[in-house]
Amino acid sequence: MNAILVTDAKYIHAYKVSIEFSDKTTKIIDFEPFLIENPHPQWEKFIKIENFKKFKIFNGNIVWGRNWDLVFPIHSLYTGNLLEQCC
């Protein structure tokens, strides 16, 4: 069985991103609850929308920051449960 990877991501609105996975599943993920409910100096800069919108796809995942300052397990993205173990 092949691992599920992020193949595409498009900014929607506010903290919502449409994420496409390698199995062609697409999910709209709202990152706002995670960012607001889990303050951390490493990712507080992504509360600013202009910084949040600067994500990229790298090695099959969606990441923020030059050093992967914010990244989630693929399984968390796929299920939409960002409060599982992250970063």
Domain boundaries, the chain: 6-79
14 three-state secondary structure: coil
CATH number of the domain at 6-79, please?
3.30.2020.10
Percent of the chain with pLDDT over 90: 72
Residue 1 has pLDDT above 60, yes or no: no
pTM confidence score? 0.88
Residue 81 CA, distance from chain mean position: 11
Segment 6-45, tens digit of pLDDT: 999 999 999 999 999 999 999 999 999 999 888 888 888 9
pLDDT at 85: 52
Region 44-52 average pLDDT: 93
φ, ψ of residue 39 in degrees (nearest 5)? -60, 140
